[in-house]
Amino acid sequence: MGERRDLRNPAERRRLQRELKQDIRFTDVLAGERLEFVTTWGLFSPRRIDDGTRLLLDHAEIGPGDRCLDLGCGYGPIGLTFARKAQQGHCTLVDKDFVAVEYSRRNAGLNRLVNVDCLLSNGFDQIADRRFDVIASNLPAKVGRELLYTYLLDAWDQLNPGGRLYVVTITGLRRFIEKGFKEVFGNYDKLKQGRDYTVAVARRESD
């Protein structure tokens, strides 16, 4: 893609179109689990697992029977890693982008994971009847604080007592996340702070 192209040439245009529409494929090891991925341009970090997602997966604790939610799943690296670890449990992957949901489903099949479902949902709106032991999200930095509070409040509603909410954010948002966790959950635990990303967890301690 770095070389100069003459895209006035119809054959060159068609060749580039075919190239850009081809699926991107790679394999990675996430939290000790080897997974294969197929992705496409337009999804977040399509050629490699981003550093924030990797940091979250390195610090989240998943039990074999946990019921998990990957909020804003993209092509599925968090949710599918959880599903591999919680083989007696279940993992729901949701995203508001139908392309992301399609690719997360494809990746579930590619990795022969049957304890998952992948749903189109704007936040929690299509899964309001479900309850979870673990909710995790690589929270985008630019969605606005009002929407982030909505996610925190909905997460509290849908976590089982003792359930955990894991988030990774850019480190510049860590103070806001700490404040929001303490207001909604009454607790906050910073698991790892790096130069670029911070992973934190809150627990629903009671009704």
- Please tell me the total number of residues recorded for the chain in this structure: 207
121 pLDDT above the threshold of 60 = yes
**Greater model confidence, 146 or 38:** 38
194 confidence band (pLDDT: 50, 70, 90): confident
Per-residue pLDDT tens for 91-100? 999 999 999 9
| Angstrom distance (rounded) from CA 75 to CA 102 | 8
Three-class SS of residue 118? strand
10 confidence band (pLDDT: 50, 70, 90): confident
Supply the pLDDT for residue 17: 72
Per-residue pLDDT tens for 172-193? 899 999 999 999 999 999 999 9
Supply the pLDDT for residue 200: 97
Supply the pLDDT for residue 207: 67
71 confidence band (pLDDT: 50, 70, 90): very high
| pTM summary value | 0.91
Q: What is the mean pLDDT of the chain?
A: 93
Note the maximum CA span of the chain: 65
4 pLDDT above the threshold of 80 = no
Residue type, 63: G
Supply the pLDDT for residue 3: 66
Supply the pLDDT for residue 67: 98
107 confidence band (pLDDT: 50, 70, 90): very high
Supply the pLDDT for residue 115: 98
Report the share of the chain in percent with pLDDT over 90: 82
Burial environment of residue 65 by CB neighbours within 10 A (0 to 12, 13 to 18, 19 or more) = exposed
136 confidence band (pLDDT: 50, 70, 90): very high
Supply the pLDDT for residue 81: 98
- Of residues 9, 58, 1, 8, the one with CA closest to residue 30: 58
One-letter-per-residue 3-state SS of 7-70? CCCHHHHHHHHHHHHCCEEEEEEECCEEEEEEECECECCCCCCCHHHHHHHHHCCCCCCCEEEE
Beta bridge partners of 199: 168, 192
Domains of the chain: 50-203 (3.40.50.150)
* Angle at which helices 77-85 and 51-59 cross, to 10°: 20
